[in-house]
Amino acid sequence: MTTSWPTWIQFEQYGAIHNVPFATKANGFEGLDAQLLVNQPPFVNHLQRLLDMAKAGTFRYAGRDSAADSMFPSAQAAIGFNSSGNRGDIARTAKFRWAAAFLPYDPELIASPINSVIGGASLWAMTAPNRTPAEYKAVAAFLTFNALPANDALWSENTGYVPVTYAGFDLMKSQGFFDKNPGAEIPIEQLTRGTMTENSRGFRLGRMPEIRNIIQEEMEVALQGRQSAQTALDTAVSRGNRVLRDFQRSQQT
């Protein structure tokens, strides 16, 4: 097996579905003084599982972020962890029968896994001193266009990203999309599964992309056999917390 977005899937989503905190302060939602918790036993044990699988030849680390995207559809890996947004590419390029599945869970941590955390591409409208009323109206018109049920459904059906409106979802159901594409509903069911907790609500941590890279860097050193799973995540927490404190200071001055 392989995984895209190693930190997002193997640590952030892993924590969410197992109701394990990724950081203090409700994963950062309750304050800028949050501290990482990814060196706690559940995460260490999971990283050790990946290290053991890599040593046994059953896990292939292809790189950071989306580097592993092509490994599953090109049949270099029998199992690929990825965003549902990759579904469209897999459907177009894979030359074999394939199916989607829920993220696996560890029954020693939780009997019934809860919701995963929404992710995926986002659209941001950036303001500036020179913005005109006409520009804001154009942005509003564009976002309104994207939110139309037909456009929302079209985007979801062709990419795999979850529909962002109930109307788009209802249209997909009425058109029989999920009946014709078994498994396409799994991301939606996984996102709405169980009762959301402060550990599965999401993340609000400053300079999150930098923290993700730190975790990936330390994971890579461990995969090279140069440090243990515990040392890797202890170092990641130490380095990541320094990033969080820098961000905290920047917001309080």
Cα–Cα distance, 197 to 33 (Å, whole number)? 20
Predicted pLDDT at 119: 86
| Position 125 pLDDT exceeds 90 | no
Predicted pLDDT at 237: 98
Q: Which CATH number fits the domain that encloses residue 37?
A: 3.40.190.10
Provide the pLDDT confidence category of residue 182 given band limits of 50, 70 and 90.
very high
| Position 199 pLDDT exceeds 80 | yes
Predicted pLDDT at 55: 98
Question: Which domain does 209 fall in, by range?
Answer: 2-110+199-252
Indicate the helix (H) or strand (E) that contains 234. Answer: helix 229-252
Is 94 part of a structural domain of the chain?
yes
Predicted pLDDT at 97: 96
Predicted pLDDT at 122: 81
Provide the pLDDT confidence category of residue 253 given band limits of 50, 70 and 90.
confident
Is 68 part of a structural domain of the chain?
yes
Is 244 part of a structural domain of the chain?
yes
Average pLDDT over every residue of 74-91: 95
Indicate the helix (H) or strand (E) that contains 240. Answer: helix 229-252
Question: Percentage of residues in the chain with pLDDT exceeding 90?
Answer: 96
192's CB contacts (< 8 A; 6+ apart) are 115
**How many CB atoms sit inside 10 A of residue 209's CB?**
9
Predicted pLDDT at 252: 87
Give the number of domains in the chain: 1
List, for residues 204-224, the tens digit of each pLDDT value: 999 999 999 999 999 999 999
Provide the pLDDT confidence category of residue 233 given band limits of 50, 70 and 90.
very high
pTM confidence score? 0.92
List, for residues 27-69, the tens digit of each pLDDT value: 999 999 999 999 999 999 999 999 999 999 999 999 999 999 9
Is 226 part of a structural domain of the chain?
yes
Is 147 part of a structural domain of the chain?
no
CB burial of residue 239 (10 Å; 0-12, 13-18, 19+) = middle
CB 69 within 8 A of CB 89: yes
Instruction: Report CA-CA distances (Å) from 126 to 121, 134, 153.
Output: 16, 14, 26
Identify the CA nearest to 144 among candidates 117, 172, 125.
125
Is 239 part of a structural domain of the chain?
yes
Strand partners, 23: 36
CB 171 within 8 A of CB 149: yes
Is 246 part of a structural domain of the chain?
yes
Is 193 part of a structural domain of the chain?
no
| Position 134 pLDDT exceeds 80 | yes
